[in-house]
Amino acid sequence: MSFSNDVRQEICSSVNDKDRRFACLYGMLLFCRTLNREHICFQSESRVSAQLFCSLFEAVFRKKLSITEHTRKNGIILCSCDTDGDTAQEVFQKYRLSDNKRLIDSEIIATNSLGVFTAGVFLACGSVNDPNKEYHLEFACPEEGLAQQLATLLGDIGVTAKTVVRRGQHIVYIKGSESIEDTLTFIGASQCTLELMNTKIYKDIRNKANRIANCDAANIDKVVKAAMKQIDDIKLIDHAVGLDTLSDELREVAQLRLDNIDMSLQEIGETLSEPISRSGVNHRFKKLAKLADEIRGGSYEK
């Protein structure tokens, strides 16, 4: 089951009183596929949404609707709920719908039912991506005016929503995880909000762990690269003049490096017969590097 379906399931279980049923059905009707005085058609790929539409319609209008199913070429089943002309006329009268264009009439919705109205809109034309993949919630609105009104409504609750036209459809979309969390909570899907938040926490921890691992790997590569350069210098010195010509302190640090390619400067400093700091070890390797460069350049004098 997809995350969108989880949201729909939770919404459907929360529409449980007269005002909420009326407001939710209003959202589903206003944003459904076909809405005119001759015919109303609510369509959804979610049977749960279609069943709720029929249930709400019966509760508000005392009329039963049936669900017809059509299998698309891609194998997805589309559920449709249709009304006849007389019933459509009754719907237009009860919800004071306009013949010319669809508009949200806030006077029809009780103040405490605005969230469930928006839930109805989501059931009619909304979808939300799996938060494991992407933070994206959108509404595919049937008309431009509705898209603008919906974006404004979401803005009133502090949600940043934008609009775009995609393949002839007016899309209202939300990208930020926090705005999606606020929207899901607003439409009554608080459990899905918690699931999204948990997913985000897990992703943040995983990303942080990956960054640390990458940083550690980079540091290891840096240490090994430096150690290889030091070993090249030491071998050159040994071949050219012999390590026994070095001072005791340089010879000891050179031998430790030859024997321990993966040892850090701090570890070398702690292993010396007379321990010194990391910077002290680094200073000795700089002396060895200078000596090796002199040998390579032919300027070394015994």
Per residue in 173-226, pLDDT (tens digit) is 999 889 999 999 999 999 999 999 888 888 888 888 888 777 777 777 787 788
Q: CATH number of the domain that 12 lies in?
A: 3.10.28.10
**147 and 198 in one domain?**
yes
Which of 202, 228, 250 terminates a domain? The answer is 202
Number of domains into which the chain is organized: 2
Q: Which pair of tokens denotes residue 49?
A: 């949404």
Q: What is the pLDDT of residue 52?
A: 93
pLDDT tens string 233-285: 888 888 888 888 889 898 899 888 888 877 888 888 898 889 999 899 899 98
Is residue 57 domain-resident? yes
| CA-to-CA separations, 152 to 124, 136, 161, 236, 289, in angstroms, rounded | 18, 18, 8, 74, 68
Residue 33 sits in the same domain as residue 134? yes
Q: What is the pLDDT of residue 180?
A: 93
In a domain, 75, yes or no: yes
Domain boundary among 202, 227, 242: 202
pLDDT digits (tens, 9 = 90+) for 99-119: 888 999 888 887 678 899 999
Residues 49 and 129 grouped into a single domain: yes
Q: How high is the pLDDT of residue 301?
A: 62
pLDDT for position 74: 81
CA distance 165 to 216: 46
Q: What is the mean pLDDT of the chain?
A: 88
Same domain, 36 and 184: yes
Given this model, what pLDDT does residue 51 score? 93
Contacts of 138 (CB under 8 A, 6+ apart): 126, 127, 128, 171, 172, 173, 174
Does one domain contain both 97 and 10? yes
Q: With 70 as the cut, is the pLDDT of residue 59 above it?
A: yes
Query: Is residue 23 very low, low, confident or very high in pLDDT (cuts 50, 70, 90)?
Result: very high
Q: How far apart are CA 41 and CA 33, in angstroms?
A: 6
Q: Is the predicted pLDDT of residue 84 greater than 80, yes or no?
A: yes
Residue 44 or 204, more confident: 44
Considering the domain boundaries, does residue 302 fall inside one? no
pLDDT mean over 287-291: 89
Average of pLDDT values for 280-296?
88
What predicted TM-score, i.e. pTM, was given to this entire model?
Answer: 0.71
Both 97 and 146 in one domain: the answer is: yes
For residue 33, pLDDT beyond 70: yes
Give Cβ neighbours of residue 89 (< 8 Å, ≥ 6 apart): 37
Residues 168 and 63 in one domain: yes
**Can you give the residue range of the structural domain that contains 249?**
209-297
Tokens of residue 107, six digits? 């006077």
31 and 169 housed in the same domain: yes
Same domain, 220 and 198: no
User: Do 89 and 229 belong together in one domain?
Assistant: no
Out of 202, 229, 249, pick the residue that ends a domain: 202
In a domain, residue 18? The reply is yes
In 3-state terms, what secondary structure has residue 258? helix
- pLDDT on residue 208: 83
Q: Both 198 and 218 in a single domain?
A: no
Residue pLDDT, tens place only, 114-159:
899 999 999 999 999 999 888 999 999 999 999 999 999 999 989 9
* Same domain membership, residue 229 and residue 169: no
